Amino acid sequence: MTKFFLTILLALGLASNAMAMDAPDELVRNVSKDMAETVRNDKAIQAGDIKRVTEVAETKILKYFDFQRMTGLAVGREWRNATPEQRTALASEFRTLLVRTYANALAQYKNQTIDVKPLKLAATDTDVTVRTELRQPGSKPIPMDYDMIKGTDNWKVYDVSVAGVSLVTNYRETFGQEIKASGIDGLIKSLHDKNQAGAAKAADTGKK
């Protein structure tokens, strides 16, 4: 009898586990909605506090991004030659840069709505593109696509395209130049410097 219950529990557990992994389009829809509501209802963010948006972004969305993969894509083939330490440093700096960019964009679009197109997902799919449109009054909708890969616990975004242009691969040229001029460590330093400058600016807006 115990065994029987155990089996049922196990089955239920497995089933709920499988269900816990949201479909990619569902995930994008839920997370965007959640973010939009949070931004709308947070007074500090409405006042332009970048630090606060960054905090919210950190807690709510970062687990849905695969920064290691993103960084690898942005760096391109030189990624092969990066040591584990360099990879970690690159990913961490790039992540900071992207989060701050995202937070800045988020803090400014106040009347935006995101329209997520339904995705036909086959059970065998491990790499999909979720198409969305960012709508705002007074301007044309901007297509934003999320390339997502199936992870162990949930789907993760590894590239975002705006108006059909991959943001991650758009970094390749600049990153390539940096690496050619001053090596991988040079790129890490450039990213680090950029982040320092950005953090100083964000602190400024927070004080206002």
Binding site for other proteins (CB under 8 A): 69, 72-73, 77, 79-87, 97-98, 100-101, 104-105, 108-109, 111, 137-140, 143, 159, 163-167, 169-171, 173-175, 177-178, 185, 190-191, 194, 198
Nearest distance in Å: CB 130, other proteins: 16
The closest of 114, 169, 124, 123 to 147, measured between CA atoms, is 169
CA atoms of 208 and 26, how far apart (whole Å): 37
Closer residue to other proteins, CB minimum distance, 9 or 197: 197
Task: For residue 155, give the DSSP letter.
Answer: E
Instruction: Give residues with Cβ within 8 angstroms of 186, minimum separation 6.
Output: 178, 179
Nearest distance in Å: CB 188, other proteins: 10
Closer residue to other proteins, CB minimum distance, 26 or 185: 185
Nearest distance in Å: CB 12, other proteins: 34
Nearest distance in Å: CB 79, other proteins: 6
At 112 the three-state DSSP class reads coil
CA atoms of 98 and 93, how far apart (whole Å): 9
Closer residue to other proteins, CB minimum distance, 82 or 116: 82
Instruction: Give residues with Cβ within 8 angstroms of 65, minimum separation 6.
Output: 95, 156, 157, 158
Closer residue to other proteins, CB minimum distance, 48 or 154: 48
Nearest distance in Å: CB 34, other proteins: 21
Closer residue to other proteins, CB minimum distance, 26 or 198: 198
Residue with tokens 């092969």: 80
Closer residue to other proteins, CB minimum distance, 25 or 178: 178
Are 135 and 113 contacting, i.e. CB atoms less than 8 angstroms apart? yes
Nearest distance in Å: CB 105, other proteins: 4
CA atoms of 28 and 24, how far apart (whole Å): 6
Are 27 and 64 contacting, i.e. CB atoms less than 8 angstroms apart? yes
